[in-house]
Chains A and B, each alone.
Chain A
Amino acid sequence: MSKESKKMLVAVAGQPNSGKSTIFNILTGARQHVANYPGVTVEKKTGSYHLKEDTVELVDLPGTYSLTSYTQEERIARDFLLNEKPAVVVDVVDTSNLERNLYLTFQLAEMGIPLVINLNMMDVAERRGMNIDAEKLGQQLDSPVVLTVGNRGKGKKELKEAVWTISKEGKSNQFRLEYGEALESYLNPLEKLLSDDTVLSANYPLRWLAVKLMENDTEAQRLVRENSSDGTKTLNFVDEKRKDYTLKHKKAPEKAIAQMRYQVAQKIVEASVTRKKEIKRSLTDRIDQIACNRYLGPIILAATIYLLYELAIVQGYNITPYTWPLLAAFRDFLASILPSVGFIFDPFFRSMPLWVTDGTIAVLNYVPIFLILFALIAILEDTGYMARMAFILDRIFRHFGLHGQSVLPMVISGLYVGG
């Protein structure tokens, strides 16, 4: 029998801005197919690459901080993982924010899918003086760890290799987050109850389901209601347990669960990361102190906008006396080679080209203004001042309903002055 080529489904998951699309692009060589997830306007990017005899189908999942069912992005990522059951998930981690990123990693691991932990943004982490014991981190998460600098393509080969290796092993992730005695005494009986249900236990990771039910997750409740023969009984049991926990511990279980995830993340980070003295970000900080100052900020902003106006519009217009003669000379040249002027009417072959030329010249006359304006805006964008402008103007933008998300994480550190 000939060696058969196999298709393998791999998902790229991670928190917003961790570099998922960058990693997706370096793996697939940016050969991608863009569609929408069924029924929603969220983009679904797929692509593929070959390794050895396999074809890897790669899917770029939406970036999410968590995997609750509150937002569309989270529901999409989670439904994809539950229903499409990818062979491997590449968990793209912003290493410079390792602790917060692990919060999502835990939830991916809980779903039982084999993970490759992709520590991306290693250059930023190193600049922050982080030294990471990748092996130790991998042991604690029962997953291989690969270091990358996505935007420079560093670590691409190792990442492909790790995905291939783990897909061949074909064993599920054995990492199990221990939520502590108080919560476990609720989670364990619930998991046991769920395991008695043949449909649920055949289709869903039960530990994950137990945790989500304890978190009062509405989509998890729907899964139980629709798939279990005894759904109502299970949900009543959950409800009772949630009330009981809240009463006993004066705290909603979902809060305790989030807290435990962060506690464990902190422990893992402490065990696998050592920090040298941070390489100072003081320059950025000091510039911010001035650029975003309560009083100076708006003044600098106004000055910047005035400067834009002065340089682009005023000075750009001052250039036109120099560029205009060139354009005018061209028109004169054109006029000289066209049929000569008529006594009453100009011949059509004269007037028509001249109309077109006049119109074009009228627009070309403003080209210096646009060139200067675009160049200046590019500079503002690159230095990160645009982001500061957004910060200062947020209040005004809000009146026009222009803000995106309710919690706007401005990871200023990602906006180093000069990139």
Chain B
Amino acid sequence: MTLGEMKPGQECEIVDVIADGILGQRLMDMGFIPGTRIRIIRNAPLIDPIELEMKGYHISLRHSEAKEVEVKTL
């Protein structure tokens, strides 16, 4: 399943970054690395963006970006 399908409050672990090229690289640069744990803080009122906590800091992603991150629930 992908990060885009996660619900607020859920925790998951990154399995893979699917995207290649600039988006894939940027996600990895920001710390989206297999094995990293993520907690979904909230889905914003008007759906985008999703807010996440990872490695102790908060990140906002759009759904179009979040669906490029494959995760498994914990």
A residues bordering B, Cβ < 8 Å?
A: 65-66, 68, 70-71, 96-97, 99-100, 103, 128, 252, 254-255, 258-259, 262-263, 288-289, 292-295, 297-298, 391-396, 398, 406-413
State A96–B47 Cα separation when bound (angstroms).
29
**Judging by beta carbons under 8 Å apart, are A255 and B46 in contact?**
no
- B45→A297 contact, CB < 8 A: yes
Q: How far is the CA of A293 from the CA of B51 in the complex (A)?
A: 12
Which residue on chain A has the smallest CB distance to residue B29?
A: A66
CA distance A395 to B60 in the complex (A): 13
Bound CA–CA A100/B47 (angstroms): 27
Contact A409 B60, CB 8 Å, known A68-B25, A255-B28, A262-B31: yes
Interface string of B24-37 (1 = CB under 8 A from A): 11111111011010
Query: Is the CB–CB distance between A392 and B44 below 8 Å?
Result: yes
Tell me the chain B residues, 55-74 only, with Cβ under 8 Å from chain A. Answer: 55-62, 65
Does B44 contact A391, Cβ atoms closer than 8 Å? yes
Closest Cβ neighbor of B64 among chain A residues:
A406
- Distance A395 CA – B44 CA, assembled complex (angstroms): 9
Output the nearest chain B residue to A398 by Cβ-Cβ distance.
Answer: B48
Partner of A99 from B46, B47, B55 at Cβ < 8 Å:
B55
B43 at the interface (CB under 8 A from A): yes
Residue in A70, A100, A258, A408 whose CB lies within 8 Å of B49: A408
Residues in B whose Cβ lies below 8 Å from that of A392: 44-46
Asked whether A410 lies within 8 Å of B28 as measured between CB atoms, the reply is: no
Q: Please determine whether B27 and A407 come into contact, CB atoms closer than 8 angstroms.
A: yes
Determine if A66 and B25 form an interchain contact, defined as CB atoms under 8 angstroms apart.
yes
What is the CA–CA distance of A241 and B8 in the complex, to the nearest angstrom? 42
Q: Known contacts being A297-B45, A391-B44, is A100 close to B23, with CB within 8 Å?
A: no
Which residue of chain A lies nearest to B20 when distances are taken between CB atoms in the complex?
A252
> Mostly helix, strand, loop or mixed at chain A's interface?
helix
Residues of A close to B25: CB separation below 8 A: 66, 68, 70, 254, 258
Cα(A409)–Cα(B43), bound, Å: 15
Given contacts A294-B42, A295-B45, A392-B45, contact A259 B60 (CB under 8 A): no
What is the predominant secondary structure among interface residues of chain B facing chain A?
mixed
| Chain B residues near A (Cβ < 8 Å) | 17, 20-31, 33-34, 36, 41-49, 51, 55-62, 65
Given contacts A70-B25, A292-B45, A394-B44, contact A410 B30 (CB under 8 A): no
A258 touches B29 (CB 8 A): yes
**Given A391-B51, A394-B44, A411 and B58 contact (CB-CB distance below 8 Å):** yes
Nearest CB in chain B to that of A393: its residue: B46
Partner of A262, one of B24, B33, B45: B33
Q: Are A410 and B33 in contact (CB under 8 A)?
A: no
User: Does A293 contact B45, Cβ atoms closer than 8 Å?
Assistant: yes
Contact of A103 among B26, B27, B29, B41 (CB under 8 A): B29
B-chain residues with CB within 8 Å of residue A128 when the two chains form the complex: 56
Asked if B30 and A394 make an inter-chain contact with CB atoms under 8 angstroms apart, the answer reads no
Q: Which residues of A contact B48 (CB under 8 A)?
A: 394-395, 398
Task: Give Cα distance in the complex from A333 to B63, angstroms.
Answer: 65
CB neighbours of A408 from chain B (8 A): 49, 60-61
If A71-B22, A262-B33 are given as contacts, then 20 extra A-B residue pairs at C-beta distance below 8 Å, sorted by A number, are A66-B26, A70-B21, A70-B22, A70-B25, A103-B29, A254-B25, A258-B25, A259-B28, A259-B34, A262-B31, A294-B44, A295-B45, A298-B45, A392-B44, A394-B48, A395-B47, A398-B48, A407-B30, A410-B59, A413-B57
User: Chain A residues with Cβ under 8 A from B44's Cβ?
Assistant: 292, 294, 297, 391-392, 394-395
- Docked pose: A362 CA to B7 CA in angstroms: 55
* Smallest beta-carbon distance A97→chain B, Å: 5
Q: Write out the residue numbers on chain A whose beta carbons fall within 8 Å of the beta carbon of B55.
A: 97, 99-100
In whole angstroms, what is the CA distance A292 to B17 when docked? 28
Report A-chain residues with C-beta under 8 Å of the C-beta of B41.
Answer: 288
Cα–Cα, bound, A259→B29 (Å): 9
Do B49 and A294 touch across chains, with their CB atoms under 8 A apart? no
Q: Complex: how many Å from CA A413 to CA B58?
A: 7
- Whole-angstrom distance between the Cβ of A301 and the nearest chain B Cβ: 8
* A149–chain B nearest beta-carbon distance, Å: 19
Contact, CB under 8 Å: B51 / A410: yes
Decide if A97 touches B23 in the complex (CB within 8 Å).
no
A252-B20, A392-B46 known; A407+B26 contact, CB < 8 A? yes
Residue of B nearest to A390 (CB): B60
Least CB distance from B35 to A in Å reads 8
